[in-house]
Structure 1
């Protein structure tokens, strides 16, 4: 972290390590967003559950549920805050955010509750796509506007999606790493939850775009940390004891990369992530982290809320959209820091 910037909500004079700051700064107010279900009723013309439903009763207020994956995940918390802010720009939308707690049973129960209470639209950030699939299908069958996001859940007729291409997100960082990781390097790999589309596709990109092209690089340890910073820190502490030399951290998100760096503080290691969080931008600017790619929660929120509104008001009958994935390195980290300062996520 530089002398001149700190993450929003971080007390002045706090030690330079960034442990927990993003969870605090982005999750500020998130607890207030997790509310009880709000009763609403969507009326459709046609066959409920059909992808061709476009005519809906015009309402003064549409009730939308956002089932978030987990507020302990800094990116998911950022996305939830951006969803709330974006929904506030639509006078005929009321958004409620629910914390899935990275637990399939909790998230599935929340989807069921939103269906029972007849929300007009449900936006679902799946923890495990296959675990949530039957409940997403149930929402579609109920005639509710249903959108999957971060990750998209494929193969559900009548469902909509707003996402990024996770292979490209991982691939752009992996290609950048090709010329940076030293010959015969030893690397550790941190994965997201098993079965998560973003985790598996980012890992696939790293395999095909980096490890297959750099057979000299040896993976000395690999495990899942469920997107969680503390889990990554614990794994990395064990790995450092088992492997005195670790040259590179390859993480499927920034949260895990930051946790691994915290455990390896003082060691010279390259570190790669995905998401482009405020913490990652600061770490890259400081030279602690090497690179990431941006998954812009603000852009995701804008597209999700617009999609929900367009579908509810029959402007569109189907939405499947992707955002971009720009590479962030030390050369351009400042422009993303400036973006976060403007958004109030980093304090000067």
Structure 2
């Protein structure tokens, strides 16, 4: 009897331990238990889970932004981040946000595929009481998100065009290469360009078209412009990739030396073209800073801490004179 009692006691203890182990769960189980209330998870010592919805893993500049998130994540041992790629599909990104909500993550970070669908995504997170931080791409109504972390695109277009005007001595024919139409960066950067041009009677816009932030499309658009026979003194592009495409087309036509090229973002490829004297102007958009700032803000929101509605990561003008400083930042 005594032996049977001992065996029974051991069996009961083992059963209790098994059930206790099952209850521990992984990172997502911890998040699910919080019901989306990050503050509760942090208070109970549970791991915080952040969902990061990015538009395109293959985009070079956005890869720098993701690196900024990952580097900051390494400093936060109590935080797990789930990264998902929408592959530039707004419907796919909406589905990813819904999945994050159903998994009961503690907060969501999103770089929207487009600014129209972003409104619905933020609304769904708000309805589920999950903090949502929008990074990089601003849009009307972004104030409904928990926070916006990014840079003011109007400032970048203004800085870019002011430097172009300075180099040209306040006169010349300008060709503006737009990014994806309707995108906040396209609208605000071009607006900044045009506000500066309006101050100079001897500067005028002679050509304007879209290349959707894409190098190959920038090259094709520049080929069309060169074939038009229109005199161009400067190509001012909404981003570096289009500017590089334009440079490549002009080089192929033997006309690159006659045209000033300007971009925005301060990518590593852009710095290589600047070092070679082919790109004269870019404006540094701090991808690492936006990534770090976005994750830092999301973690604070998940913990129930107060966060700023607008976290500004400033743009900075880059020319060949100061580019070395910025080459180390990306």
Do these two structures clear the TM 0.5 threshold for a shared fold by scoring above it?
A: yes
Q: Which residue of 2 aligns with 1:309?
A: 299
Quote the Cα distance in structure 1 between the aligned partners of 2:106 and 2:209.
39
Quote the Cα distance in structure 2 between the aligned partners of 1:185 and 1:89.
50
How far did 1:207 drift? Answer: 0.7
Which of 250, 262, 276 is matched with 1:272 structurally? 262
Quote the Cα distance in structure 2 between the aligned partners of 1:270 and 1:242.
18
**Larger deviation: 182-191 or 288-297?**
182-191
225 and 109 in structure 1: CA distance in 2 versus 1, 3 angstrom threshold: farther
Report which of the two has the higher share of helix: 2
Q: Deviations over 1:81-107 (max 9, x none)?
A: 222222122111111222222332232
Q: Which residue of 2 aligns with 1:327?
A: 317
Quote the Cα distance in structure 1 between the aligned partners of 2:166 and 2:308.
42
Which of 150, 169, 189 is matched with 2:176 structurally? 189
1:56 aligns with 2:43: no
Which of 242, 246, 261 is matched with 2:247 structurally? 261
Q: Which residue of 2 aligns with 1:93?
A: 79
303 and 200 in structure 1: CA distance in 2 versus 1, 3 angstrom threshold: same
CA contact (8 A) 1:73 1:228 kept: no
CA contact (8 A) 2:147 2:307 kept: no
Please give the residue correspondences for 1:1-348 in structure 2 after superposition, counting only pairs within 5 Å.
40-41=31-32, 43=34, 55-58=39-42, 59-155=45-141, 156-181=143-168, 185-209=172-196, 211-243=197-229, 245-265=231-251, 266=254, 267-268=256-257, 269-340=259-330
**Larger deviation: 331-340 or 253-262?**
331-340
CA contact (8 A) 2:190 2:238 kept: yes
How far did 1:158 drift? Answer: 4.9
How far did 1:165 drift? Answer: 1.1
Task: Please tell me the root mean square deviation across aligned C-alpha atoms, in Å.
Answer: 2.4
Is the radius of gyration larger for structure 1 or structure 2? 2
Q: Deviations over 1:93-140 (max 9, x none)?
A: 111222222332232232222223222211111132122211111112
How many residues were matched structurally? 296
305 and 174 in structure 1: CA distance in 2 versus 1, 3 angstrom threshold: same
CA contact (8 A) 2:165 2:171 kept: no
Quote the Cα distance in structure 2 between the aligned partners of 1:82 and 1:200.
26
Q: Deviations over 1:282-304 (max 9, x none)?
A: 22222110111111111111211
Give the 3-state SS of the residue equivalent to 1:236 in structure 2. Answer: helix
Unpaired runs of 5+ residues, structure 2, are: 1-27
101 and 217 in structure 1: CA distance in 2 versus 1, 3 angstrom threshold: farther
How far did 1:214 drift? Answer: 2.8
**Larger deviation: 100-109 or 88-97?**
100-109
CA contact (8 A) 1:150 1:198 kept: no
Give the 3-state SS of the residue equivalent to 1:148 in structure 2. Answer: strand
43 and 195 in structure 1: CA distance in 2 versus 1, 3 angstrom threshold: farther
296 and 137 in structure 1: CA distance in 2 versus 1, 3 angstrom threshold: same
**Larger deviation: 236-245 or 301-310?**
236-245
CA contact (8 A) 2:34 2:104 kept: no
Give the 3-state SS of the residue equivalent to 1:60 in structure 2. Answer: coil
Over 6 Å off, 4+ runs: none
335 and 184 in structure 1: CA distance in 2 versus 1, 3 angstrom threshold: closer
Quote the Cα distance in structure 2 between the aligned partners of 1:73 and 1:226.
13
Give the 3-state SS of the residue equivalent to 2:51 in structure 1. Answer: strand
Give the 3-state SS of the residue equivalent to 2:34 in structure 1. Answer: coil
Quote the Cα distance in structure 2 between the aligned partners of 1:256 and 1:94.
35
315 and 338 in structure 1: CA distance in 2 versus 1, 3 angstrom threshold: same
55 and 90 in structure 1: CA distance in 2 versus 1, 3 angstrom threshold: closer
How far did 1:313 drift? Answer: 1.6
